[in-house]
Amino acid sequence: MFRHICVDGKVLRGSFSHTKHKRAEGVFSAFAAHSQLVLARLPLDSKKDHEIPAMQQFLLDLNLKDVVVTADATHCQKKLSSAPEKPKPSS
């Protein structure tokens, strides 16, 4: 069975407010095409959270095997943007 996970970050339209001095809100989503399930939908605080480290941590947490993951060009990084914590082996 071919397994495919699509990931993307989006800025929510209309979430920026000049009158309230509020920044645009972002969200990171991961979708499993083979089972048609949303695996993750994480809000991103534009001040401290970004799409790149969110995806890197998401992939480390899942510990995937034999899965194709697609993302946009934002994720074409030569190295990790930050050092996400690797999952600790269970004892």
Q: pTM of the prediction?
A: 0.63
Intervals of the chain under pLDDT 70: 1-2, 20, 46-49, 77-91
Give DSSP secondary structure letters for 21-65: TBPPPEEEEEEETTTTEEEEEEEE-TTT--HHHHHHHHHHHHT--
**For residue range 58-67, what is the model confidence (pLDDT) as tens digits?**
888 877 788 8
Domain count along the chain: 1
Residue 1 has what pLDDT? 54
On whether residue 79 sits in a domain, the answer given is no
On whether residue 36 sits in a domain, the answer given is yes
On whether residue 37 sits in a domain, the answer given is yes
Parent domain of 65: 4-73
On whether residue 31 sits in a domain, the answer given is yes
Which percentage of the chain shows pLDDT scores above 70?
73
In this structure, are residues 34 and 2 in contact, taking their beta carbons and an 8 Å threshold? Answer: yes
Residue 62 has what pLDDT? 79
